[in-house]
Structure 1
Amino acid sequence: MKAGQFLHASSLLDESIFEQAIIFITEHNDKGAMGFIVNKQFSRGLTELEEFKHGIPFPLYEGGPVDQEHLFFVHQRPDLIPDGSAITEKVYYGGDFKTAVAHINTRVLTGHDIKIFIGYCGWDNEELEAEIAEGSWKLTDAGEIFD
């Protein structure tokens, strides 16, 4: 397993937050793994959050059950968003969020360029591997993050 791969939830995870979830793995190391659910839109948009109420409407996604008090993002525009960390050749995690929001509000960035999440998915060392072994997740290199 490595960053940049996708997890697809099996029927073992039905009736949970992970039912039919597709997760993009952004980090995997000896401490564990981190990723974001990429296929479940959050019930509120970015402009429904007080700090961003003066911007243009933009979707948020349910990134996962961990740390739902913070926003996280992945993007494919390192030319516009400085300080991101490369996950794959084309996808970056994080960076200058104020710059990203400014580009969203001027419509320079769209849902084809950036995805913003509330919360994330996290696993301790070997925990995700155990869940894959028990059949909860199918691991694949194929998938699409951006609309």
Structure 2
Amino acid sequence: MSEATKPISGCLLIAEPFLGDPNFERSVILLCEHNAKGSFGLVLNQLSNLTLKDAIDDCYVEIPLQVGGPVEYNTLHYIHRLGDLIPNSVDLGDGLFWSGNFETLKTLVNVGQIEEKDIRFFLGYSGWGEGQLDAEMNKNSWIVSEKNTDLIFDTKPKEFWRKILRDMGGSYKVMSNYPTDPRLN
């Protein structure tokens, strides 16, 4: 996996080990949209204690919900590798899609045509206003990496931050072993 230098839609933002923001400590964010007006992303490695069945009245499947970020925790977002099966999905490349027609998705989930391994649901999102993410990048708060769709869906959320850094190799592999609190080392 090669490191990119600037964030682009579809890339991963990996929190520096000592970012200092509890909302994003050891987070990996899929950047779904990045433009002059701002940025929108979903944290890939923070589980909630809720399932889809808990959040949506007419959904009957207990797919775990993740925390997409601290903004609008009362909204539901999703990524998937189902392509055109979900109309109006946004293609993020590498077989990864964001959003799409929710009614179609809900029907397919309820009748068992979508497996948990092909979709991730998120409460809330991570958002940055105009120029905000670029300012954070200038402070070296984030490591930018290309995405790997299989890694996103096949890695347990608790292991994601360490795994992606280890896979990047070199100094990133060393960074993956940094303690959460260096004072306890």
**TM-score (normalizing by structure 2):** 0.72
Please, which runs of 5 or more residues in structure 1 have no aligned partner?
none
CA distance in 1, matches of 2:81, 2:47: 19
1:77 matched to 2:77: no
Q: Contact (CA 8 Å) 1:77, 1:113: kept in 2 or not? A: yes
CA distance in 1, matches of 2:105, 2:56: 17
CA distance in 2, matches of 1:37, 1:125: 20
1:27 deviates by 0.4
1:37 deviates by 0.2
| Residue pairs, 1:92-107, within 5 angstroms | 92-107=97-112
SS at match of 2:116: coil
State the match for 2:115 in structure 1. Answer: 110
The number of aligned residues is 146
1:10 matched to 2:11: no
1:16 deviates by 0.2
| Residue pairs, 1:1-147, within 5 angstroms | 1-14=7-20, 16-49=22-55, 51-52=57-58, 55-143=60-148, 144-147=151-154
AA of the residue aligned to 1:125: E
Name whichever structure is richer in helix by fraction: 2
Q: Contact (CA 8 Å) 2:10, 2:147: kept in 1 or not? A: no
CA distance in 2, matches of 1:31, 1:76: 27
Over the matched positions of the two proteins, sequence identity in percent amounts to 32
Q: Contact (CA 8 Å) 1:35, 1:121: kept in 2 or not? A: yes
CA distance in 2, matches of 1:75, 1:58: 13
1:15 deviates by 5.8
CA distance in 2, matches of 1:111, 1:129: 34
**TM-score (normalizing by structure 1):** 0.90
1:112 deviates by 2.3
Shift of the 38–70 alpha-carbon distance from structure 1 to 2, 3 Å rule, reads same
CA distance in 1, matches of 2:109, 2:99: 15
